[in-house]
Amino acid sequence: MSSQQRAIAFLGTGLMGAPMVRRLLDAGFAVTAWNRDIAKAEALRADGADVAETPASAVEGASVVFTMLTDGNAVGDVLFSQGVAQALAPGAVVIDCSSITPEAARDHAARLSKRGVRHLDAPVSGGVVGASAGTLAIMAGGSADVVDALSDVFSALGRVTHVGPSGTGQLAKLGNQQIVAITIGAVAEAMMLVEAGGGSAEAFRRAIRGGFAESRILEIHGQRMVERDFGGAGPSKLQLKDLNNIVAEAKSLALTLPLTEAVRAEFAAFVEDGHGDTDHSGLLLQLERKSGRGGGDS
């Protein structure tokens, strides 16, 4: 099926959803957008999107439905309490790009399957920059055949990898978030160590670029730490949500993850201290405060 024949509904056009909708529109797909705050969906009209007042009306006639919502409860509410599942035609595909628990993803897939609707849990990594550039890393759980059949849709957004059955896309995203959170903590602590001994954090970051410590976290989040310009691109409250899900999933699998649990505790304290909307690179402030070395708001 070509892009001209596919009708796509996109539910949740916030920080990540809006640029993803624009990528799909640029690729030639017809997209109907819905968001709880209708103004965020209306902003996409200028880019060529249709706008629906309810999620159920948005998916009418759609063969592909994306969800990019806050958490599993929000996804379940939209799918099963606000009429989306009932409005979908058999054979339609729901692609959930939200970060939710693997258990919730498997539950949604099973419930949709009873209606003849296919489901992929396909969370993404790459942030707003990746969403805008169409370079997202997309981790898909579900049927490999469905992933392959939607290659034209995914290619507009980034690079998709089929990870395994339902729920494994979310497991991969949790693993990604583990690495992100722990690496943010490692970069922050290393900068604190260098500065405490009289060195320059900015020079330290430049010195180790290209070595074994190189990473996107060092490149982007490390620069935010040097500039002490944290903003809210990756809210710490969402990082904490993911870390809580990781710890819960590990418990269900009888795993002990000491590094993850340690960084989760620091993010919990950071959010509790009023920094839920601060970018997760701002964990530096929490670690500085704990060490008695400043940590004031930027």
| pLDDT per position as a tens digit, 95-134 | 999 989 999 999 999 999 999 999 999 999 988 889 999 9
Residue of 157, 146, 196 whose CA lies nearest to 21:
157
Percent of residues, the chain, with pLDDT higher than 90:
91
Q: What is the mean pLDDT of the chain?
A: 95
DSSP string, 167-188: THHHHHHHHHHHHHHHHHHHHH
The pLDDT score that the predictor gives to residue 5 is 66
Residue pair 9/65 in contact (Cβ under 8 Å)? The answer is yes
Q: What is the mean pLDDT of residues 239-260?
A: 94
The pLDDT score that the predictor gives to residue 297 is 53
The pLDDT score that the predictor gives to residue 231 is 92
Single-letter amino acid, residue 87: A
Helix, strand, or coil here: 96? Answer: strand
d(C-alpha 239, C-alpha 276), whole Å? 9
The pLDDT score that the predictor gives to residue 127 is 86
The pTM assigned to this predicted structure is 0.85
Which residues are known catalytic residues? 173
Asked if residue 223 has pLDDT above 90, the reply is: yes
Asked if residue 3 has pLDDT above 60, the reply is: no
Lowest mean pLDDT among 19-23, 155-159, 231-235, 273-277: 231-235
d(C-alpha 60, C-alpha 99), whole Å? 25
| pLDDT per position as a tens digit, 55-66 | 999 999 999 999
The pLDDT score that the predictor gives to residue 265 is 98
Residue pair 36/70 in contact (Cβ under 8 Å)? The answer is no
Asked if residue 6 has pLDDT above 90, the reply is: no
- Which domains are delineated in the chain? 7-165 (3.40.50.720), 171-291 (1.10.1040.10)
